[in-house]
Structure 1
Amino acid sequence: MSPLVPAAAALAAALACAGLVVALRPLLARYALARPNARSSHVTPTPQGGGIAVIAAALGAGAGALALTGIAPGFQASFAWLAAAATALGLVGAVDDIRPLPALPRLLLQVACVALVVFVVGGSSRILPDMVPLWLERALSVLAGVWFVNLVNFMDGLDWITVAEMVPVCAAVLALALALDRPGAALVAAALGGALLGFAPFNKPVARLFLGDVGSLPIGLLVAWMLYELAAAGALAAALLLPLYYLADATITLARRLLRGERIWEAHRSHFYQRATANGFSVRAVVGHVFGLNLALAGLAAVTLGWPGVQAPALALGAALVGLVLRRFSHPSRETDPWPAR
């Protein structure tokens, strides 16, 4: 696939997303206002639901590129199912943004959407050795997918943080997928990354618009599928390295909350990035750390593709870099914060 195709898809998604945000923001300000509470990082009522524009633009640009260019003809049916699952998760998130759903029905709907992607879109792809039964690998894939969808939602609690995390991940997936001849994953990565760039000006500190669950949940699903594609193509180490900060922050936080006997499905402010703002880091300093870390992780992921023999050292180095950032966030900052919390 020519690199011009994903580049055009990214540009189209960015422009479409920005246009949709401008059109939808007055409506969202009227009907989807996120009011600050004890667990919020923002201090003034702010509209949420910008994820509608992000997902619509990403899926629209992806579908348009597939229809107009004829690339990856075998991927068109899979993309339709992927888009359907992402749209269904977006609808669940939209309802949850307006009137919170009970935890169990929400979880069951997420499992159904992830299972659709694993069993239908994933096809015959394998990640684990053949000695592992296929049913077990599928079950583990669904479990991992549901966790990833939720952790992306958990981590979307600060201006620009999803952009700082997912734009480098999408860019890296685009490059690696092109190298691995996975045009479908490359196209989705380009479209989603472009849509997030179109959303970024409206979400910069202090944000004028939030993603909402309508955006974070399907973004988690799309990125989980892209990482699954990398792993199925033999780049498992890269697929683990790219989202390593989100994986570490969310998983460690969940484990700590479980040990404290807390209700893990309830909102809280104990993630490392949230503690960083409480420790005096500015919002831009936090997202700057996350963005820089993700660039480093993307570089390590590329190294594992070029030199497979360094996969274990690259994973160890990536884990060490993530650990340093988490430790930094856990201690007070000496900087003066010129940017108020969102």
Structure 2
Amino acid sequence: MTISALQFSLLAIPAAALLSASMTRAILPLLLKHALAKPNARSSHRIPTPQGGGIAVIGATLVVAGAIMANVAAPDLTIPVAVFGATLFIAAVGFADDVNSIPVLPRLVLQGLAIAAVVFAAPDDLRIVPAWPLWIERALTLLAGLWFVNLVNFMDGLDLMTVAEAVPVTAAVALLGWLGDAPASAMIIAAALFGALLGFAPFNRPVAKIFLGDVGSLPIGLLLGWCLLQLAWQQQFVAALLLPLYYLADATVTLLQRMARREPFWAAHRSHFYQRATDNNFTVSRVVGEVFALNVGLAVLAIASIRAHSVAVDVAILLAGSIAVALLLRRFSRRRAL
């Protein structure tokens, strides 16, 4: 990796943070007039709040990352170009859904098209399990990507929750890039998204002045999923699993529980563990604070797994991370004494 790529990725953080904050402040009056999210029985907020802050976060991420990639000789820009296009497309889908709800099936088809553009743009030599036929691996990756993008959307239900998840993940991927363990393109995009989320965070902290909306959560899920896919393509499976493990566990366990109870699992609800925590006397700040602390720990474990180069250490690290996630889910599911 070139020194210039490292230097530019460091500059991406403050540049994206400043641009994201400026854009958020600029669009806030417009969103107050035209994009209010009104509280309902499933909401975690109590007053109408503008949504659409993802316009600033994604806009800042793509502008800064694109400007850097235009001036840095990254190893392969074919995939980032597809990622940029897919990110803009899925953001447009999210914005349309924010303004006028799109039925489930067409929404999933449109999301699937964006994810397919990323998955099938990858060179054939980028493989997760080389022993499998390529078409099977790509199809499974597409399904996994569709689930991941949607679970990031599902989990964006509290002030700062997506920041608490995505900041440690992007920081870890950027750091791995600086250490030479992740591609330059992933490092640059992760650093830009990290900065953009930091710029947005002051507007989204409890009580939030603005929400990301689907225009933010969907493309953030796509970008995070692509960064994790970069690790999986390099056979760094433990790190790729550990970084989003809390989100994966909360969303997947909740889905399975709802299916077991024969509930309409595709409908909006308040069954996620982090949502149940607020019903169990946890404040919003405490919930996102504990999720953030857990995610920082998972990021440290993920980096350690890559640097250790040991199967035994990987197993121990994955077990430790899984136990930490399980303990937090259990804690959120029990009423907290006042």
**What CA distance in whole angstroms lies between the structure 1 residues aligned with 2:89 and 2:260?**
33
Question: Are the aligned partners of 1:82 and 1:121 in contact in 2 as well (CA < 8 Å)?
Answer: no
Equivalent positions of 1:12-31 (< 5 A) are 12-31=15-34
Structure 1 residue 207, shift from structure 2 partner:
0.2
Aligned residue number for residue 144 of structure 1: 144
SS in 1 for 2:157: coil
Equivalent positions of 1:178-197 (< 5 A) are 178=178, 179-197=180-198
> 1:205-261 CA distances to partner (integer Å, 9 max, x unpaired)?
000000000000000000000000011112111000000000000000000111111
Question: Are the aligned partners of 2:69 and 2:185 in contact in 1 as well (CA < 8 Å)?
Answer: no
SS in 1 for 2:132: coil
Aligned residue number for residue 339 of structure 1: none
SS in 1 for 2:131: coil
SS in 1 for 2:102: coil
Aligned residue number for residue 40 of structure 2: 37
SS in 1 for 2:128: coil
SS in 2 for 1:266: coil
Question: Are the aligned partners of 2:32 and 2:49 in contact in 1 as well (CA < 8 Å)?
Answer: yes
Query: 1:67 is aligned with what amino acid?
Result: A
Equivalent positions of 1:99-110 (< 5 A) are 99-110=100-111
**What CA distance in whole angstroms lies between the structure 2 residues aligned with 1:200 and 1:30?**
21
Aligned residue number for residue 173 of structure 1: 173
Structure 1 residue 177, shift from structure 2 partner:
2.8
Aligned residue number for residue 298 of structure 2: 297
Query: 1:109 is aligned with what amino acid?
Result: L
Question: Are the aligned partners of 2:182 and 2:231 in contact in 1 as well (CA < 8 Å)?
Answer: no
Question: Are the aligned partners of 1:165 and 1:294 in contact in 2 as well (CA < 8 Å)?
Answer: yes
Aligned residue number for residue 321 of structure 1: 324
Q: Give aligned-pair identity as a percent.
A: 54
Structure 1 residue runs of 4+, over 6 Å off? none
Query: 1:72 is aligned with what amino acid?
Result: A
Question: Are the aligned partners of 1:177 and 1:230 in contact in 2 as well (CA < 8 Å)?
Answer: no
Query: 1:39 is aligned with what amino acid?
Result: R
Equivalent positions of 1:189-338 (< 5 A) are 189-309=190-310, 310-335=313-338
SS in 1 for 2:193: helix
Question: Are the aligned partners of 1:29 and 1:46 in contact in 2 as well (CA < 8 Å)?
Answer: yes
Question: Are the aligned partners of 1:170 and 1:192 in contact in 2 as well (CA < 8 Å)?
Answer: yes
Structure 1 residue 122, shift from structure 2 partner:
5.7
Structure 1 residue 4, shift from structure 2 partner:
2.1
Question: Are the aligned partners of 1:160 and 1:200 in contact in 2 as well (CA < 8 Å)?
Answer: yes
SS in 2 for 1:120: coil
Tell me how many residue pairs correspond in the alignment: 332
> 1:174-227 CA distances to partner (integer Å, 9 max, x unpaired)?
112332251000000000010000000000000000000000000000000000
Structure 1 residues without counterparts, runs of 5 or longer = 336-342
**What CA distance in whole angstroms lies between the structure 2 residues aligned with 1:122 and 1:189?**
21
**What CA distance in whole angstroms lies between the structure 1 residues aligned with 2:75 and 2:239?**
26
Q: Please, what TM-score do these two structures have when normalized by structure 1?
A: 0.95
Question: Are the aligned partners of 2:155 and 2:247 in contact in 1 as well (CA < 8 Å)?
Answer: yes
Question: Are the aligned partners of 2:14 and 2:195 in contact in 1 as well (CA < 8 Å)?
Answer: yes
SS in 1 for 2:170: helix
**What CA distance in whole angstroms lies between the structure 1 residues aligned with 2:118 and 2:265?**
25
Structure 1 residue 21, shift from structure 2 partner:
0.5
Equivalent positions of 1:50-69 (< 5 A) are 50-68=53-71
Q: Please, what TM-score do these two structures have when normalized by structure 2?
A: 0.96
Query: 2:209 is aligned with what amino acid?
Result: R
SS in 1 for 2:253: helix
Aligned residue number for residue 338 of structure 1: none
Aligned residue number for residue 74 of structure 1: 76
**What CA distance in whole angstroms lies between the structure 2 residues aligned with 1:121 and 1:92?**
23
**What CA distance in whole angstroms lies between the structure 2 residues aligned with 1:17 and 1:122?**
32
**What CA distance in whole angstroms lies between the structure 2 residues aligned with 1:122 and 1:281?**
46
Indicate the RMSD between aligned Cα atoms, in angstroms: 1.1
Question: Are the aligned partners of 2:124 and 2:134 in contact in 1 as well (CA < 8 Å)?
Answer: no
